[in-house]
A and B are shown apart, each in its own frame.
Chain A
Amino acid sequence: MTATIESPRSGRIAPQYRRHGGSRGNFEMIAWLFMRLSGVVLVVLIFGHLFVNLMVGEGIHAIDFGFVAGKWADPFWQVWDLTMLWLAMLHGTNGVRTIINDYAEKDSTRRWLKTVLYSATVVIIVLGTLVIFTFDPCPVVNGVPLPGGFCPA
């Protein structure tokens, strides 16, 4: 007498254990990969940011409106800061999202905390992006240049 024994689990995975076709797709895998890729880039961007702003010349004493104006006069630092803003905010938001998912046990608490988190993220990214792109070294209010600005003679 011969018995046919099927390979374990082949084609017979109960629906609730199937890993494909879920409503979330592969979002969590993309998020995991994003943390690693953005992390490597952020190490370079943030170490560069700290070195140039705190270690060179007078360090922190040199930082004022003129310092920012000097940096953002150069598209290189605009792109640097913009990339740093977006990657750091998305990296940090995803990290805090993970922490909320880990520690907030009630569905409603998780949803509420994540709503607050995502709102803060959108506000900060939009604000920071606008500030970089609309920066004016010579701000003028009612036809009068504000003191401390850098205006063409």
Chain B
Amino acid sequence: MPTKPAGTLYRGREGMWSWVGHRITGVVIFFFLLVHVLDTSLVRVSPEAYTAVIGAYKNPLMALGETGLVAAIVFHAFNGLRIIAVDFWKKGAKYQRQMLWAVMGLWLVTMVAFSIRHLSLALGGH
């Protein structure tokens, strides 16, 4: 005897997990955005207040945090373009899986390049 509904629209795999990832990264980016506008607004308080608070972004732990944030942004950006392709390209829905693997590939390449550059600047000789 079935005790639950027989099925839901999403049943795991690429379609559902990309949707989950898009939601989580979106919320993370939104909350960072609120904080980032507030910290930037300190330029209207005083030059020293801004420079002091922005200095908090320059320690090694924050460098990892920034890398995580950029990882979220890059995934959300590339997967967002995939969603647009699914919606507007005639064959978008048919190739949504392949496009997700393209998103992950581009994400990996972008993140390797970003991490090498950002971490060597943020962690190196200052």
Q: What residues on A are CB-neighbors of B80 within 8 Å?
A: 39, 43
> Which residues of chain B are within 8 angstroms of A149 by Cβ–Cβ distance?
47
B54 within 8 A of A: yes
Which residue on chain B has the smallest CB distance to residue A147? B48
Cross-interface CB contact of B34 among A63, A124, A131, A148, cutoff 8 Å = A124
Q: Which residues of B contact A113 (CB under 8 A)?
A: none
A44 smallest CB distance to B (angstroms): 10
Most buried by B among A55, A64, A69: A64
Chain A interface, number of residues (Cβ within 8 angstroms): 42
Asked whether any CB of chain B lies closer than 8 Å to the CB of A79, the reply is no
Question: Which chain B residue has the least Cβ–Cβ distance from A141?
Answer: B46
Q: Mark B67-78, 1 if CB is under 8 A from A, else 0.
A: 000100100010
A50 & B73 in contact (Cβ 8 Å cutoff): yes
Are A127's CB and B50's CB within 8 A?
no
**Most-contacted residue by chain B among A43, A99, A139 (CB, 10 A):** A43
B77, A65: Cβ atoms closer than 8 Å: no
Cβ of B66 < 8 Å from any Cβ of A? yes
Contact with B along A57-69 (1 / 0, CB 8 A): 0111101111011
Residues of A near B29 (CB, < 8 A) are 92
CB contacts (< 8 Å) of A135 on chain B: these are: 43-44
> Restricting to A24-71, which residues have a CB under 8 Å from any CB of B?
36, 39-40, 42-43, 46-47, 50, 54-55, 58-61, 63-66, 68-69
Give the distance in Å from the alpha carbon of A47 to the alpha carbon of B75 in the complex: 12
Chain A's nearest CB lies how many Å from the CB of B112?
Answer: 13
Task: Given A50-B70, A128-B41, check contact A36 B47 (CB 8 Å).
Answer: no
Which A residues from 110 to 131 make CB contacts under 8 A with B? 120, 124, 127-128, 130-131
Within 8 A of A (CB), among B72-90: 73, 77, 80-81, 83-84, 87-88
Given A61-B58, A92-B33, A148-B47; 11 other pairs, CB 8 A cutoff: A36-B87, A43-B77, A47-B77, A50-B70, A54-B114, A55-B117, A60-B66, A95-B27, A96-B27, A131-B41, A147-B47
- Can you report 19 residue pairs joining A to B where beta carbons are below 8 Å apart? A43-B77, A43-B81, A46-B77, A47-B77, A54-B117, A55-B118, A59-B117, A60-B118, A61-B58, A64-B54, A68-B43, A92-B29, A92-B30, A95-B30, A124-B33, A127-B38, A131-B40, A135-B43, A146-B48
